[in-house]
């Protein structure tokens, strides 16, 4: 910290001395402001509204780990910014996984991040607040205004340094007064800001770069501002938007409601594992949106699914060990690679479980197990362990257990949701454990997955009485037959 402060003092001293003495970094900031319409014009912007539409791309939800991310239309994208008070509000109407349009309203008021839902505004935690700050600064106006104003005033300052060239752009690092660290790219000729990036934490991927790139600068109330914005996470495009800007827009009061601003930072949500014995030695570990299933075999116990994140998966593992205390919990079966279903794999690795997944996912899982998690040290970062991985090849069947107590694990078959999706068949119990293959009433691609699931049961001559899901309730096979018959 001390070192940074000293560097900053140097930058300020040079910057306040007059235009000729600007550091090369601050000269670049000034040039970029001039390219937008002038240093003074940039400094004077108090409010901003950005409106647009485009597409989101759902990270970790592709049909295979290397396939393009599925697209979800963004019908309306409205961002309002109060630059004087460091406040921002995002109102984004986009299609969810089932194609229904939901509007999410999120906001930031200096150190307080909050989400606005039907029950009113609720405070979000400090990590969310930090990441919204970084997003606040991922815009040419907020970034340049911060770099210009705070340095020149000589108050708790923004630091601009480390000028370099990368892929033809001029690049500097910017640390804002409130601690956001950004890497900013400027076009070498136009001096326009073309990219702003920062580090963020993703519970699946660990430390990731989130970046916004800016194109198609056009006149907006006397300033030149970008008309196209692309957002990436870890290099993968997650959002493309065509936007227009209103500088000086009437945005009303973006302050956090008093009760939200004074609310304590919320505790992370706890896991609630509600177990239900479905058959002798088979338990559904339900309670929230993503379940696991515990199967007791002659020599060991096996967990099907390590979903969501450390909190959920560690609670499921702990409950599993309580339910079968005298045998080792040896394996976890991953149904498919989607991030909500694989988010607890690292926790399972740290707990010494061997991971079973389809061979399609091998490279991804090797990567997930080895990526750095320094911004948030997750369970595996704190308790390192080797990944032990067993994959199911092609349409092979992997069988665990013996005699009448076995589980058969195989790829379900072609379906639009996840190519390597595994299902688990318990022949004695006549149960089939599946995730996302039969979600009644959702329609869309889930009508196709339901038909594919029924086809797989018929093709393999499985005797199934009950479908045991990772989401929702246990259902009789007849529910699947009726849904497929009805086409949904
Ligand atoms: Zn899925």
> What's the Cα-to-Cα distance from 68 to each of 60, 62, 237, rounded to whole Å?
10, 6, 9
Chain centroid offset of residue 353 CA? 25
Burial of 444 (0-12, 13-18, 19+ CB in 10 A): middle
* Shared domain check, 198 and 74: yes
- For residue range 75-96, what is the model confidence (pLDDT) as tens digits? 999 999 999 999 999 999 998 8
User: What per-residue confidence (pLDDT) applies to 156?
Assistant: 64
**How many Cα atoms sit within 13 Å of 464 on the Cβ side?**
29
What's the gap in Å between 327 CA and the centre of ligand 1? 30
What are φ and ψ of residue 56, in 5° steps? Answer: -100, 155
* Shared domain check, 220 and 93: yes
Q: What is the C-alpha separation between 424 and 403, in angstroms, rounded?
A: 17
Residue 407 burial (CB count, 10 A)? 24
- For residue range 36-65, what is the model confidence (pLDDT) as tens digits? 999 999 999 999 999 999 999 999 999 999
Residue 151 pLDDT exceeds 80: no
Task: Tell me the β-bridge partners of 371.
Answer: none
**Which are the contacts of 78, defined by CB distance < 8 A and separation ≥ 6?**
49, 50, 51, 90, 91, 92
- For residue range 395-440, what is the model confidence (pLDDT) as tens digits? 999 999 998 899 999 999 999 999 999 999 999 999 999 999 999 8
**Residue that finishes a domain, picked among 234, 261, 288:** 261
Q: Edge-to-edge, what's the strand order for the sheet holding 405-411? A: 397-402, 405-411, 422-426, 431-434, 466-469, 475-476
CATH of the domain at 461: 3.60.15.10
Q: Is residue 36 part of a domain?
A: yes
> What's the Cα-to-Cα distance from 142 to each of 37, 83, 110, 135, 154, rounded to whole Å?
14, 7, 13, 10, 18
What's the gap in Å between 365 CA and the centre of ligand 1? 16
What's the gap in Å between 59 CA and the centre of ligand 1? 11
What's the gap in Å between 470 CA and the centre of ligand 1? 10
Q: Is residue 295 part of a domain?
A: yes
**Residue that finishes a domain, picked among 224, 239, 261:** 261
Q: What is the C-alpha separation between 185 and 168, in angstroms, rounded?
A: 9
Q: What is the C-alpha separation between 31 and 255, in angstroms, rounded?
A: 32
Report residue 40 as tokens: 């003074």
What's the gap in Å between 316 CA and the centre of ligand 1? 19
What's the gap in Å between 435 CA and the centre of ligand 1? 7
Give mean pLDDT, residues 118-139. 93
Give mean pLDDT, residues 213-229. 97
* Shared domain check, 333 and 456: yes
* Shared domain check, 240 and 295: no
What's the gap in Å between 425 CA and the centre of ligand 1? 19
- For residue range 291-343, what is the model confidence (pLDDT) as tens digits? 999 999 999 999 999 999 999 999 999 999 999 999 999 999 999 999 999 99
Q: Is residue 266 part of a domain?
A: no
pLDDT tier for residue 155 given thresholds of 50, 70 and 90: low
**Residue that finishes a domain, picked among 238, 261, 284:** 261
Q: Is residue 269 part of a domain?
A: no
* Shared domain check, 282 and 206: no
* Shared domain check, 307 and 163: no
Q: What is the C-alpha separation between 353 and 296, in angstroms, rounded?
A: 15
Q: Are strands 112-117 and 101-109 parallel, antiparallel or unpaired?
A: antiparallel
What's the gap in Å between 448 CA and the centre of ligand 1? 13
Give residue 349's domain range. 274-486
């Amino acid at each position: 910290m001390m070192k940074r402060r000293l560097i900053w003092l140097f930058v300020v001293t040079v910057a306040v001395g007059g235009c000729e003495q600007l550091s090369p970094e601050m000269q670049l900031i000034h040039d970029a402001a001039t390219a937008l319409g002038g240093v003074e014009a940039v400094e004077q912007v108090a409010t901003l509204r950005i409106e647009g539409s485009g597409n989101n791309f759902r990270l970790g939800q592709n049909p295979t780990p290397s396939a393009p991310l599925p697209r979800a239309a963004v019908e309306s994208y409205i961002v309002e910014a109060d630059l004087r008070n460091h406040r921002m509000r995002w109102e984004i109407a986009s299609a969810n996984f089932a194609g229904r349009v939901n509007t999410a309203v999120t906001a930031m008021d200096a150190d307080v991040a909050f989400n606005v839902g039907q029950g009113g505004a609720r405070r979000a935690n400090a990590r969310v607040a930090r990441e919204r700050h970084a997003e606040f600064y991922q815009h040419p106006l907020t970034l340049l205004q911060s770099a210009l104003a705070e340095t020149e005033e000589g108050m708790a300052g923004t630091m601009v340094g480390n000028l370099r060239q990368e892929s033809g752009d001029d690049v500097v690092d910017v640390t804002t007064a409130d601690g956001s660290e950004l890497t900013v790219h400027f076009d070498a000729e136009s001096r326009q800001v073309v990219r702003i990036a920062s580090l963020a934490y993703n519970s699946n991927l660990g430390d990731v770069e989130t970046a916004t790139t800016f194109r198609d600068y056009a006149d907006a109330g006397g300033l030149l501002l970008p008309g196209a914005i692309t957002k990436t996470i870890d290099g993968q495009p997650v959002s493309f938007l065509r936007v227009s800007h209103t500088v000086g827009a009437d945005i009303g009061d973006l302050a956090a409601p008093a009760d939200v601003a004074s609310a304590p930072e919320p505790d992370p949500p706890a896991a609630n594992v509600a177990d239900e014995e479905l058959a002798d030695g088979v338990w559904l570990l339900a309670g929230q949106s993503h379940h696991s299933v515990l199967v007791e075999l002659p020599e060991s116990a096996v967990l099907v699914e390590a979903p969501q994140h450390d909190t959920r998966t560690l609670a499921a593992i702990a409950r599993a060990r309580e339910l079968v205390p005298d045998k080792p919990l040896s394996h976890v079966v991953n149904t498919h690679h989607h991030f909500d279903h694989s988010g607890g794999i690292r926790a399972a690795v740290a707990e010494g479980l061997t991971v079973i997944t389809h061979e399609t996912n091998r490279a991804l899982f090797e990567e997930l197990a080895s990526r750095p998690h320094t911004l948030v040290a997750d369970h595996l970062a704190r308790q390192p362990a080797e990944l032990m991985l067993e994959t199911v090849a092609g349409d092979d069947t992997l069988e665990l257990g013996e005699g009448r107590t076995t589980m058969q694990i195989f790829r379900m078959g072609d379906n639009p949701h996840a190519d390597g999706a595994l299902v688990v068949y318990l022949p004695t119990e006549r149960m089939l454990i599946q995730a996302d293959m039969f979600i009644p009433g959702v329609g869309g691609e889930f009508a196709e997955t339901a038909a594919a699931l029924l086809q797989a049961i018929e093709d393999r001559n499985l005797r199934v009485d009950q479908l045991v899901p990772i989401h929702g309730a246990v259902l009789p096979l007849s529910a699947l037959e009726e849904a497929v018959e009805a086409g949904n």
